[in-house]
Structures are given as C-alpha cells and as structure tokens.
Structure 1
Amino acid sequence: MKTYQTNEIKNIALLGSSRSGKTTLVEAMLFESGLLKRRGTVEENTTASDYFPVEHEYGYSVFTSLFGIEWNNKKLNVIDCPGADDFIGGVVTALNVTDTAIVLINGQYGVEVGTQNHFRYTEKLNKPVIFLVNQLDHEKCDYDQILEQLSDSYGSNVVPVQYPIETGPNFNSIIDVLVMKKYTWGPEGGKPTIEDIPESELEKAQGLNKALIEAAAENDEGLMEKYFEQDSLSEDEMREGIRKGLVARGIFPVFCVCAGKDMGVRRFMEFLTNVVPFVSEMPKVETVDGEAVEPCGKGSESLYFFKTSVEPHIGEVSYFKVMSGTVHEGDELFNVKKGSKERMAQLYVANGAERTKVDSFQAGDIGATVKLKDVRTGDTLNSKDCHYKFDFIKYPSPKYSRAISAVNTGDTEKMMEAISSMQEEDPTWVVIQSKELRQIVVYGQGEFHLRTLKWRLEHNDKIPVEFSETRIPYRETITKTAKANYRHKKQSGGAGQFGEVSLIIEPYKEGSEIPSMYKLDGQEIKISVRGVEEVKLDWGGKLVVVNSIVGGAIDARFIPAIQKGIMERMERGPLTRSYARDVRVIIYDGKMHPVDSNEVSFMLAGRHAFSEAFRNAGPKILEPIYKVEVFVPANYMGDVMSDLQGRRGIIMGMSSEKGYEKIEAMVPLKEMSSYSTALSSLTGGRASFIMKYANYELLPADIQEKLIKEFETKQSNE
C-alpha cells in the first residue's frame, strides 16, 4: 500500500447497536475494495472484524477493529466498534481518533438505545454523523417510520439522500436523490445497474432532491446565494455543501444498504470518498498545554497511541494516530511521559487480524506497530525536536463492580498482571486493591463486560477466578456531643507508660464555630483554643482537632501522638470498622508523668478516649448515594420507576430526550449492585443508564441495625 497524503485520508468510526450489522458491513466494504475474496459471516465466525476467541464464544464484537480500505484513490480508515453498551470504551476511543461517525440503524428496530448512546458521544465530541439504514430486506423494516424516528430524535438536520423503492424480502433497489439515479442489484448484490428514475418515483425524488439542495446550501453563504439565483445546485456544489454541513453538524445525511447482500455498499463508499471531510478539514486537536496541532505531513513527528492489543501468535500490537509529521520505518522517537527512546522497527496497515507492511504514515493516518519496549495506551511518541503531549480521551465512569479473587491464592499476582494487561486493551476495566474494603475490586460498564474479563482470565490466561459481591464503602459519623477520659498506665519493671487524655467530640460542619463552653453530664467545661488542626480525610469529610490544654496538663509535644491515636480509630470506626468522618475533637485536659509519659502512652490514651466518646455520641452509619440517569423508551417508564423506588431510590425528575425518556433519581450504591442486569431484563435491553457519586447520607435505622448485627456475627465467627 502506498503512503497516503493527509488530504487523501478519511477516518471513520462505525457505530450502532448490537445486531445492527456493523461487522457484516465491514465484510462487504472489504470485499468491494478487493481486500477479501470471499465475505465471511458472523454465524460462521469467519468475519475479519471479530477474530478474538471471546468474540466467537459470545457472538458479539468485544473490541474495536481497524481497517485501512483503499477506494477511489483515497484511504478510508474505518474503526468497527462494539455495539453493546458494556463496551462503550471502544466507541469513545474510536470517536476521539476519527473524524466522522457512521451510525448504523437496524432496519427491523429503527432508533434504539444504542443509537441514542452513541449519538450522545458524537454530540459531546462534535463529530459529523451519517445515518445508514441497514437490513432493508427484513420483513419488519419500515423505512418511512425509521426516517420519522430519526427526525423526531435529531431534528430537521436529518436529510435523506436515498430511499428504497420497496423494503422487505423483495428489496433490491434504491433512489439516490443526490445523483438522481435509480440503483438496482441482482440477487448477489455487488455492482448495481444504474438507471434514470422511473416516472412513478420522479415526483417524490424531486421533492427530496430539493430538500437536500436546500440543506446543502444552508451551510455555505456562497451556495445559498447561488441557490437563490438559480433555484438549483450542481452535483459538485451539493457535495461541497454537504461536506461543510457535516463538519458543522448542520446536516445528518441518511443512506440505505443491505450489507448482508452487498447492496448499496459500493455507492456508499463512493459517497465516503467523495464527500466525507478529510482530516485537514476538521478542527485541530490540542495538546495538554492547549496548543492546536496542525495535521501536516511536513511537521515534527508526533504519534498518539490509542490502543494496545495482545493478539494470538504476535503478542502486543500498538495502534497509533499520526498527529503531525511523517513517521518512517526505522525512526527513533521519544516517549514524552517516560523519556525513553523507541525504534519504529515495523509499520503496518491493519485490517482486523491481517496486517500489511508499509514504509511510512503521514499526519492524520492511523497505523499499527509491534515490539515496542515501553509504550502504553495514552502515550505520545515524538521526534527529538518535538514536545507535544496528548491526553484527549476521557472514558465514562464505571457502572458495575465485583470483588475478584483467584481460586488458587497463589495465582493472585498473576491475575493482577493479566488484568493490568487487559486494561491496556480496554481502559474502562479498572481494578483496585481496596485497603478499606479488604477486597480486590474490578470495575466495568456492566455484567457482560466483567463476564468477558472473567472468560479471558480463565481461557486465555488459565487463571480460574471467582466473583463476589463488592462491599459497600460505608462511613461512620456522630450525631451529638459526648466526652470521655482515658488513663493509660503500664508498669512492668524499669520505665513505665503513663498518659491520660480528656476530650470532647461533636459532629463537624464546615464553617461551624467552636463553642467557648460545653455542659456535659452536669459539668461545665470551658474551652480555650490553643491550636486547631484540620485534617482533610482521603475518604471524604474532615477531622478537626482542637488543642484546649491549659496549665501545661499535657505537654504540647504529645498532641500529635494523641491525634495519631484518634486517626487510627477514624480509620476503623467502632460500628462496622468503616472509615469515620466529619468529627471535631477538643482535647481539654489530661495528665502526664515526668518519667513514664511518652508518645506511645498518649497515642493509646487518645485512641481509647476517642473510641469511648464516639460510642456515646449517637454514632450513625452513612451510605454512598449516586445520581442515576436512566434512558428508557416511554412504554417502560412505569416499570423502571417502580423498580428504582423499590431500590430506595428517590425520583428527582423526568424529561424527554431525543426520542427517549430520561429518569433522574438518587439511589443508594448498595441497591445498584446488579442494576445493569435488572434494567436489561425489565426493558429487553432497550434502556441504558449512567451513574455518578453524589454524596453520603444517613442509613435508615432499621437497615443500620441489621448491618451492625451482620458485622458482629461475622466478627464473632472469625
């Protein structure tokens, strides 16, 4: 393959819900371009896209696949993305390194929740969108209804460029209102017969042609003036207007294909090469320092690595986008993050599992390499004179978690290494060794997402693992004021230990004043503030320690030791050993011994005094609350709302969002454990949700009592 110039390269992300036919469309495109001699099928596990064993096992795309397709002297870099919401990380990655999104629509179902999810990301990243209606030969396909759904969801910018004369099993022809021709295919698809539009379709075609001309003209003042003068535009002028409209997201063209029969694919590829924006026509990408980088082949070399894949018989394959300059085989580049030097020994154009060796890639192009020493997903490699650093891919927060453990404890380290390697392939897998929960927790986008990780550990790495419920990161706090005194005294020959601490604890609220007097148990205690230490806790909230020692009852050098003892108990609350937060401690009195007092004595005295006071200060458990947004078809609204309320959720609002209803609720994390599975079951997989930490709130008394009893039982068993 030749080295393509920046103005000959078009980068495209192929999106769509599961079963919309993305993998089959790629097969047809590869076949049309000559890269395949025979089209494979998903059913037979013979497609170019889904080549990993786990994809064959589940019959779904799990990873993105890159294809470099030559057509009409242009290069189309197409990234085929998984459709399932659990693998949204692949979609986010692809949209960040490509310039145009093709959103495939299943002709049987029309606009689905996956369509909505993917479109939201194109909106967020300001990417051009082309809608492509597939499976027009399905008996339940209703093109006019799909067009209506698209218009209802995405407005007047949705403009059909093609429409089928008939859908269902007899589908074999479309009318193209850009070139004003009829395309007809034989049973084998492929190259069409191109004819004039028949009289019976001419009026409809002319009306849609006029609407397309108007939409194209709206995106360019010069074209608008020409349209007003001539009441028409040439085919080339329409293409120019559509291209500008795509860049500005002022037009979302709609095309038709039947990928399974290779009908309409060739014509669609012509549109991609003729009309879709080039790399050079899209907004420039900025470095972490805010510098906009021109994708110029003559600039300094800079490569951004967006994906790492461990592939059978090859090992680690690194995928990159050339942000600037031209990279050649044998070039030595420098890793901005690590300062290490890397040699680009081999460069490849990727086509799924197949790779074609090339000499160079220009700015804007996407390629692959192997055998790099120390390059990870998200790294930037530059030539010596270049200092660019890129970090523009932001992944969604996890929605599902499970504690994971190796069946054989000796495999734990090996398991962690394997998961770490998998994170390079999919950064939305996150693993944490939680000191607080005393578990290894793996996070993902849903049950299927984590099930895939488990399958790979057990089948690829031969490490049997178990999932269990993730413990909830509860917090403990107090609701009233209490005091305590503790004397630590130990004498065992030689130097002894002595330290006595009297303290008051109370709930802390930001900005609250320290009282000058407390009245507790009939005793008035006057406070004279000598010093205040505010500790911002790693787990949220604060510990505020007030030194109110007068008359030298405790030497100032022992205050840090007392605070250390208090912190030890803040890390292991007395109710369930959860972290404590939002407590103010006033150390107001104590005693010391001229010989036997030391830091250890006061640390122990402070720890025990704090524990006793905490138990008497109305201790309560706090639970994490998450803001949950559910996107659901209107006919499932009632069931989804009832389910959320059954999970102790509080409905905060409802609204319509581009064809779907959005429910906003505040739900305890405890109740969200298997929500992705339940929501899918409730709605037949037609709903999705996002969740984000909101705050901590008091646990209801009955649930707190049950939780404490469970904890005490567990402690006694251990």
Structure 2
Amino acid sequence: MKIFDDKHIKNVAFVGTHRAGKTTLSETMLYEAGLINRRGTVEQQNTISDYHEFEHQRGASVFATPLHTEWRNYKINIIDTPGLDDFIGEIMSSIRVADTIVTVINAKHGADIGTEIIWNYVDRYHKPILFVINKIDSEKANYEMAVTSLKELVGTNAVLVQYPIKIDGAQCIIDVLKMKCYKFGPDGGKPEKLQIPDNQLEYANTLHNELVEKAAENDEELMELYFDKGSLNEDELRKGIKLGMLNHDFFPIFCVSALKDMGTGRLMGFIDNVAPAAADLKPEQTIEGDLITPTIESDTSLFVFKTIYQPNLGQITFFKVMSGEVKSNDKLFNTRTGESETLNQLFIMDGKNKHSVEKLTVGDIGATTKLKFTDTNDTLASKAESGTIRPIKFPQPRLVKAVFAETSTEEEKLSEALKRIHSQDLTVDLSYNTETHQTLVGTQGELHLSTLSWLLENVYDVKARFESPKISYRETIQRSATANYRHKKQSGGSGQFGQVHLKIEPYYDGMPEPEGFSLRGKEVVELPWDGKLVFYNCIVGGVIDQRYLPSIKKGILEVMESGPLTDSYIRDVRVMVYDGKMHSVDSNDISFKIAGAHAFKAAFLNANPKLLEPTELMTLRVPEQMIGNVMTELQSRRAVIQGIETEAHYQILKCVIPSAELTDFSSQLRSITQGRATYSIVFNNYSPVPNHIQKELIKEKDLITT
C-alpha cells in the first residue's frame, strides 16, 4: 500500500448520537474514494465498519472501528464510534488519537440529548471539531432547527460553511467558503457545480462574510488583511479556519446526505485541505514531563489506544505513531513493563480486513498482532528509557454486578475471559471483594453489561450470571457493657480452664482513657478492615497471668472477624480486661482464647449493637431543569444533600448516599434525565443503618442460616 507522509495523513473520529449516520458516512467515504465497489448498509449487515455479529444483532455500532480512505493524495484514517454512551470507552479512545473530531448530527432531530452527552466528553479534549448535519434529503429534515439547536449547545463558535436548498426539486448544497452551488442528481454522486442562484446570493454573502470575519479573528496578520481588503481569499480563509479549529474557537458546519452520497466529496476535500493533521497539534507530554514532538526525525514512539481479540487472529493491537516511524520487524520497548516487543507485521485495518504495510510514519494509525506484554494505554518506544505517553482516563463504572460462572467447573475459565475483556475494554472494571468473596464487574450501564455477557458466551464460550453485589457492612456498639465467661473442660489428664471478666465500650479517636480501672497496658490494633480495637490490660493481683492476655485478645479478634448480627466485621471497640481466674495446671492459651471470645460476644450483644453501612460521596452534573426530579430520587434512596453549585446550564450536586442504594441508580438516573446527567462517586465512610433496615438484614441472615 502507498505510504503517506505526516502532512498528508488526517485522522478523524466520527462521533454522534445513535442513528446519526456515522457508519453510513464512513461507508460512503470509502466508496467515493474507490476503495470499495459497492456500498453496504446497516440494515443489510454488510458495511465495512459494523462487522461484529453482536452489532448485526443490535443493528447499531457497539465497537469503535478503524478504517481508512484516500482522497486526492491524502490518507484519511476514520474511526467510526458507537453512538451510545454505554460505550464511552470506545468513543474516548478514538477521540484520544484523532486529530479532528467529526460530530455527525441527524437533520431530523438536531443536536439532541445524545449529541449533548457526547459533546460533554468531546469538549474536554479541546481538539479540532467540525460538525456534519446528515440526512438533509429526508422529508422530515429541518436544517434550520438543527443549526439552531447546535449553536444553543456549543455557542457561536459553530459557523456555517454550507447549507442545503432545493432547486427545481433537486437537492443542492450552497458552499459559502467556495461560494459555489453543488447540484445533485436523484442518486447523488458527483454534483454539478453552479453559480449561487440570485435569490440565495444575499444570504450566501452574509454567511460568507461571517465566515471570513470569524476566520480572521484567529490570526493578527489575517485580521490586518481583512481590514485592508474587506475580505480574505480562499487560501487565507483556510489558514484562518485551521487556526481557529486548533484553538478550539471555530467549529465549521457542513451538510451531507451520506446515504445518497451528497456532499461527501466536498467534506473529504475540506478534511484534506483544512482540517489539522497530527503535525499541527501540540506535542504530546509524557508522564515524566517530557515532550514528544510529532516529527519523522524523532525517536519512534507508539501509543496503544485499542486492543481487540479475534478468534482467528488472536489479539490485535491498534496504535498511533506519535513520533518517528515504525517498520515491520522493528523491536520496541514497552515503557510500562520494560519488556521488548517485536512487531513482526504491520497492518492497516478496514473493519475486519487487514492490509499489510512495510512501515508507518508519524501521525498514522495502524495495527499489529501477537504482542505479548502490551495492552491498551501502553507506550512502545525505540528506547527503553523513553517517556510514557499520558494514558486515557476512562470513567468510573456506573453499574456494578457480582459475576458467577453457571457451573463451578467454569470459574477459572470465566476469570481468564474477564481479564482478557478488561485488557481490551478498560471501562470494564474488575475486582474481588475479600469480605463477600465475590468477583465484581463494573460497566457503563445495562447495555454495556449485556455486551459483556454476549462476549463471554459467544466469544469465550462461558456462561455467566450477574447478581447485585453483597454490601460490606460493619458492626459496632452504642453503649458500654460487661460480661464474664468461664471456660472449663475436663476429659482425663490435664483439662482446660480460664475465666475472663471484661468491659467493652464504643471507641472513637481522641476519647479519654477509661475510668475506674488500673491501667497496666494498652494496645491499639489497626484492623485490616478499617477501624480499631483498643485492648487494655487492667488485671491486678495476678488473677490472670500476663502470658494469657495475648490469647484473650486473639479470641476477641476472631469474634470481630464475624460479628453476631450479620457475620460482618466488627470495628471501633475498646476492651478492658479487669478480672478473671486461672488454674495452676489446667489453664493454657486455648482456654483463655475461648473464654475471651465468649465474654466479648456476650458483652457485645448487651451493648446495643449497631450495623454500619458504607456510604459514597456522590457528585452529580444535572441539567438545571431536571434537578428537582433528581433530588426527589436521591432522597428516596436515603441520600443526604451536601450542597449545590451552578455551572453553565447544569447544577453540580453533592450528596452522601448509602452504597446499598446504588444497585439500579445508574439506570434510574438515565431514565429520569434522558441520559443527560452524569455522576462520580468516591468512598465516604461507614454510617449507622436505620433500625428498620437493620432488623430486616438480621432477619435475612437468620433465614439464610436456618
């Protein structure tokens, strides 16, 4: 295949809401360039992009798919992304390596809720963006509404470059950059170039002047030219638009009918001639603080932005060449692991089709197979001591489930499959809860979870079931209590004897020392599950030998590992051992361990025991008109509102919410806000469980036990 230099490679990510037409636009661009002879359709399940079986079942993109096309001596790498934010990981990894983000909008719906959700992610990256309003030939298309809704979303930096009209029933596009009218036949394809009709000339000139003025704002030299001449020529306009796009201050708006191939060639021409290339972007900064300059003369560095697994090929690793160039059989170093990798083959991928190449230069996107030590977010470099490119920060999971293999014999197989899926999709979060002994899997929503389930069954041949995870409760006490226990056992020969008297109290940091006891020793035990046990030796007169006190403490700690209410860990208790008895022959460590454990358990049950539940500090970003419904939902889930701040048209709400109330919260929040609200959580602390819930939990535990 032809090798392109860095100035003739353009990387674009197609983003946009579900059903905007991203996959159809990708297909049409490949067809327009002559790289495919026939355009497939999503309905016929024969597009280059949506080739996965699961995508065919859903009739929509689920995975981000790299493609490429060639247009007038330029190479355009396209990444076609899903339109639902359940698959935000696929979208974010694509945005990360794109030089320009192409946001596709359905002319029938305008910048709808889905567009807003994706825009909130895209805008954070501050990358060049252009908008494409698709389906302009539809009977229900409303271009003016679409443009208005778009400007309401992103502001006045969205500038019209084109608008559609009908002339004698034929679909036309007025281009106010070139000041031409493109007239299309019923089946689209190559247009007829015409002068702008007289009845459109005044409006077109107005838009042209707005375009010129906005382009001139991005460069002092262009501004001077604009003041001197009152206008800019086409080359000057291109320069101003590119600078504006690089500054994230200029968002050109184009219009197309991807299905009928109307306007696609002009869009590709703009991407070629105006949209920034990798060489135009700022150098990448490494974790170590160094800069990676995107030139062919620099040392080679690759950034791995995606990995997938295909049964016939194994693991496929997708990367962007951030500097230098890479050739087949090059040996590179993984800067995270220090391991060396040999890239035996290099490919350009178009969906599932791979095309071998001998080398790839800076700015290009390619793939390789059979890497042993490399995963998504890794850096491969020609020198082992090279810096590590900053990784993609993926969002926290919004839905967490416990996962089990349908049969115990497949548990290991399930574990390996989950690890492989996680290595490909870092928004699938894996963890193991040592308290509940459950494997937990976090996803971005119900649809993401269903995709995971499908992959497990159809790709990895393992069936799994998903359940709500158990909550890791804690137990503590609310008042002091005393107890004693005598352990006596005689079974021939030496017996067992130990008697322990103790008092327990709730503990908190900074509390005064206990009164009424002779304090002979104190030990603060930092518990592995958080919280403390403070153990006091208050023995006087030698009624219990000092050597038995560690055994008493050990018995108490064993009870604290499985509390009497719900078998949860006990925390924040202090114990004063103040009396007891021993026997010169029968007393031993095991006797006092047992006596200490029973005495502690009896005292605990008499000290008004209380369950504690984990709570999360949640920060929500909610459209201002929806804040009331969200607050009602939160309060129904026992959330405590901490405060509200305003950010543009959103309310930033902070609250503390019990972990037990988050089981279906993501789905419910999406429902009541139409997917427009987002949230993040961090662990807060353990708080007392309401009495009625505590009774239910104890009853549930007793039912399971019996």
**Partner of residue 246, structure 1:** 245
CA contact 1:240–1:275 (8 Å) conserved in 2: yes
- Give the C-alpha shift of residue 393 in structure 1: 1.1
Q: Distance in 2 between matches of 1:389 and 1:618?
A: 55
**Partner of residue 325, structure 1:** 324
- Give the C-alpha shift of residue 497 in structure 1: 5.2
**For 1:543, which of 524, 532, 538 is the aligned residue?**
532
SS at match of 2:178: coil
Moved more, 17-26 or 179-188: 179-188
Change over 3 Å in CA distance of 1:503–1:219 after alignment to 2: farther
CA contact 1:302–1:386 (8 Å) conserved in 2: no
Change over 3 Å in CA distance of 1:531–1:637 after alignment to 2: closer
Change over 3 Å in CA distance of 1:114–1:196 after alignment to 2: same
- Indicate yes or no: 2:119 matched with 1:119: yes
Q: Distance in 2 between matches of 1:76 and 1:590?
A: 83
Moved more, 609-618 or 207-216: 609-618
- Give the C-alpha shift of residue 630 in structure 1: 6.0
**Partner of residue 526, structure 1:** 517
**Partner of residue 572, structure 1:** 562
Please list the CA deviations of residues 8-55 of structure 1 after superposition, one character each: whole Å capped at 9, or x if unmatched.
Answer: 322222111111111111111111222211111111111111111111
Please list the CA deviations of residues 402-434 of structure 1 after superposition, one character each: whole Å capped at 9, or x if unmatched.
Answer: 222222221111122112211122111123332
SS at match of 2:259: helix
CA contact 1:549–1:588 (8 Å) conserved in 2: yes
- Indicate yes or no: 2:511 matched with 1:513: yes
TM-score, normalised to structure 1, is: 0.89
Please list the CA deviations of residues 223-269 of structure 1 after superposition, one character each: whole Å capped at 9, or x if unmatched.
Answer: 22322333222222222222222222112222212211111111111
CA contact 2:535–2:553 (8 Å) conserved in 1: no
**Partner of residue 178, structure 1:** 177
Change over 3 Å in CA distance of 1:385–1:441 after alignment to 2: closer
**Partner of residue 610, structure 2:** 620
**Partner of residue 662, structure 2:** 672
Q: Counterpart amino acid of 2:9?
A: I
Q: Counterpart amino acid of 1:96?
A: R
| Structure 2: unaligned runs, 5 residues or longer | none
- Give the 5 Å matches for 1:8-87: 8-87=8-87
**Partner of residue 194, structure 1:** 193
SS at match of 2:681: strand
Q: Distance in 1 between matches of 2:645 and 2:207?
A: 33
Q: Counterpart amino acid of 1:222?
A: E
CA contact 2:539–2:577 (8 Å) conserved in 1: no
SS at match of 1:709: helix
Q: Distance in 1 between matches of 2:589 and 2:92?
A: 53
Change over 3 Å in CA distance of 1:610–1:44 after alignment to 2: farther
SS at match of 2:155: helix
Change over 3 Å in CA distance of 1:282–1:487 after alignment to 2: farther
SS at match of 1:288: coil
- Give the C-alpha shift of residue 348 in structure 1: 0.3
- Give the C-alpha shift of residue 545 in structure 1: 2.2
Change over 3 Å in CA distance of 1:494–1:35 after alignment to 2: farther
Change over 3 Å in CA distance of 1:508–1:147 after alignment to 2: farther
- Give the C-alpha shift of residue 66 in structure 1: 0.7
Change over 3 Å in CA distance of 1:207–1:474 after alignment to 2: farther
- Give the 5 Å matches for 1:220-369: 220-369=219-368
Q: Counterpart amino acid of 2:89?
A: G
Q: Distance in 2 between matches of 1:272 and 1:595?
A: 92
- Give the C-alpha shift of residue 87 in structure 1: 0.9
SS at match of 2:156: helix
- Give the C-alpha shift of residue 488 in structure 1: 4.7
Q: Counterpart amino acid of 1:104?
A: V
Q: Distance in 2 between matches of 1:335 and 1:670?
A: 41
Q: Distance in 2 between matches of 1:124 and 1:492?
A: 75
TM-score, normalised to structure 2, is: 0.91
- Indicate yes or no: 2:689 matched with 1:689: no
Q: Distance in 1 between matches of 2:581 and 2:130?
A: 77
- Give the 5 Å matches for 1:453-532: 453-488=452-487, 490=489, 492=491, 502-509=501-508, 511-517=509-515, 525-526=516-517, 528=519, 530-532=521-523
- Indicate yes or no: 2:439 matched with 1:448: no
Q: Counterpart amino acid of 2:697?
A: L
SS at match of 1:266: helix
**Partner of residue 410, structure 1:** 409
**Partner of residue 146, structure 1:** 146
SS at match of 1:260: coil
Please list the CA deviations of residues 127-160 of structure 1 after superposition, one character each: whole Å capped at 9, or x if unmatched.
Answer: 2222221122333332222222222222222222
SS at match of 2:116: helix
- Give the C-alpha shift of residue 88 in structure 1: 0.8
Number of equivalenced pairs: 704
Moved more, 385-394 or 177-186: 385-394
**Partner of residue 611, structure 1:** 601
CA contact 1:301–1:386 (8 Å) conserved in 2: no
Q: Distance in 1 between matches of 2:584 and 2:388?
A: 60
SS at match of 1:156: coil
Change over 3 Å in CA distance of 1:598–1:50 after alignment to 2: farther
- Give the C-alpha shift of residue 96 in structure 1: 1.9
| Structure 1: unaligned runs, 5 residues or longer | 518-524
Change over 3 Å in CA distance of 1:222–1:704 after alignment to 2: same
**Partner of residue 371, structure 1:** 370
**Partner of residue 110, structure 1:** 110
Q: Distance in 2 between matches of 1:6 and 1:194?
A: 32
Please list the CA deviations of residues 522-581 of structure 1 after superposition, one character each: whole Å capped at 9, or x if unmatched.
Answer: xxx23647445352644xx42142444465776777666555544444432322122334
Give the % identical residues.
44
Q: Distance in 1 between matches of 2:637 and 2:695?
A: 18
**Partner of residue 520, structure 1:** none
CA contact 1:6–1:365 (8 Å) conserved in 2: yes
Change over 3 Å in CA distance of 1:708–1:76 after alignment to 2: same
Q: Distance in 1 between matches of 2:11 and 2:544?
A: 71
Please list the CA deviations of residues 282-310 of structure 1 after superposition, one character each: whole Å capped at 9, or x if unmatched.
Answer: 22222222222222222222222222211
CA contact 2:396–2:680 (8 Å) conserved in 1: yes
SS at match of 1:42: coil
Q: Distance in 2 between matches of 1:87 and 1:623?
A: 31
Change over 3 Å in CA distance of 1:312–1:462 after alignment to 2: closer
Q: Distance in 2 between matches of 1:669 and 1:708?
A: 18
Q: Distance in 1 between matches of 2:553 and 2:122?
A: 51
- Give the C-alpha shift of residue 374 in structure 1: 3.2
- Give the C-alpha shift of residue 357 in structure 1: 0.6
Q: Distance in 1 between matches of 2:545 and 2:532?
A: 22
Q: Distance in 1 between matches of 2:349 and 2:248?
A: 29
CA contact 2:317–2:367 (8 Å) conserved in 1: yes
Q: Counterpart amino acid of 1:690?
A: Y
Moved more, 171-180 or 247-256: 171-180
Q: Counterpart amino acid of 2:365?
A: I
Change over 3 Å in CA distance of 1:385–1:471 after alignment to 2: closer
Q: Counterpart amino acid of 1:693?
A: V
Q: Distance in 1 between matches of 2:173 and 2:101?
A: 23
Moved more, 498-507 or 8-17: 498-507
Moved more, 595-604 or 203-212: 595-604
- Give the C-alpha shift of residue 200 in structure 1: 1.3
Q: Counterpart amino acid of 1:533?
A: V
Q: Distance in 1 between matches of 2:91 and 2:66?
A: 12
SS at match of 1:165: strand
Change over 3 Å in CA distance of 1:642–1:140 after alignment to 2: farther
Change over 3 Å in CA distance of 1:596–1:342 after alignment to 2: farther
Please list the CA deviations of residues 588-613 of structure 1 after superposition, one character each: whole Å capped at 9, or x if unmatched.
Answer: 66666677666655554444444333
Please list the CA deviations of residues 334-392 of structure 1 after superposition, one character each: whole Å capped at 9, or x if unmatched.
Answer: 33333333221100011111111111112232210112233222333332454322341
Structural RMSD (CA) = 3.1
